[in-house]
Amino acid sequence: MNLGFGEIAIILIVALLLFGPSKLPQLGKAAGQTLHEFKRGMKGIMDDEEEKKLK
């Protein structure tokens, strides 16, 4: 899924209209933390699968 500049701009404008400028930094931080946790969880799952294959 590749997003171009136009699509990103539309998403940002809609988010700005829905949540207002004061909430956007909080939402961005929360989204970043969620993505980080998801990646860490996926890495843990992949590491567990790799260990199973080696045994």
Q: 0.75 cut: is pTM over it? A: no
Tens digit of pLDDT at every position of the chain (55 positions) = 688 999 989 988 998 999 888 888 898 899 999 999 999 999 999 988 888 877 6
* 15, 24 contact by CB (below 8 A): yes
How confident is the model at residue 24, as a pLDDT?
85
Beta-carbon-side half-sphere exposure of residue 26 (alpha carbons within 13 Å): 5
How confident is the model at residue 14, as a pLDDT?
92
For the record, the structure tokens of 45 come out as: 């799952």
Query: Which ranges of 4-23 does DSSP label H, i.e. alpha helix?
Result: 5-19
* 28, 36 contact by CB (below 8 A): no
